[in-house]
Amino acid sequence: MSDRLYFRLPPAPSVNTIYTVRRDGEITYTRWARKWKKEARNICYLQAYEQGWKPVRDWCRVVFIPYFPDRLTRDVTNLHKLVCDALTTVAYSDDYFALAHDARPGFDPEHPRLELLVYLDSEDLELAKGVGENADALRDFRETFAYNNLYQTPAAWATVKPATSGHGRRRTRPAKRR
């Protein structure tokens, strides 16, 4: 089994857009969030299999390296919930074991994406230090992982609704009558 895992995913939705309130008052994922999570998990299964990774029941560090389509200010920590849920049963047995970290966000208008670096917490943490600033270390790691062209272009993600478009109608609880 490999000691590190690298994922390349379509842009993830923010936690601000993934929840809806049903008529019975239950809070649940939106249809779009469920679809993104399912497709992201399938992509992750393929990439984990190619890298020889099996889900672990130990603490894992998950480094988020987002590449946004524009220079709007975004809160990267809002990506953690849905992505860590999608990695459950792929990288680790339960998202309780995921320790999320953020790297400096990038800007790529042609290929917005979310790159994830997952490794066991017991490893040397030098790999994660400054991964956003040290492009050479990340490039070297990417070269060791021979990922398929399927994951290099967003064409494979055509079925996933992009994060920059509308997210459907937000439902809220009706106002109480007085």
CATH number at residue 32: 3.30.1330.70
In a domain, 36, yes or no: yes
* Distance, CA of 43 to CA of 138 (rounded, Å): 20
In a domain, 177, yes or no: no
Whole-angstrom distance, CA of residue 62 vs CA of residue 98: 6
Number of domains forming the structure of the chain: 1
* In a domain? residue 12: yes
Question: Closest Cα partner for 43 from 144, 114, 142?
Answer: 114
Q: What is the pLDDT of residues 148-162, one digit of tens each?
A: 444 454 555 555 444
Residue 158 maps to a domain:
no
Q: Which of 74, 91, 72 is nearest to 9 (CA)?
A: 91
pLDDT, tens only, 31-69: 999 999 999 999 999 999 999 999 998 889 999 999 999
Whether the model pTM is above 0.85: no
* Domain contains 159: no
Is 152 inside any structural domain? no
Domain region containing 57 = 4-147
15 domain residue, yes or no = yes
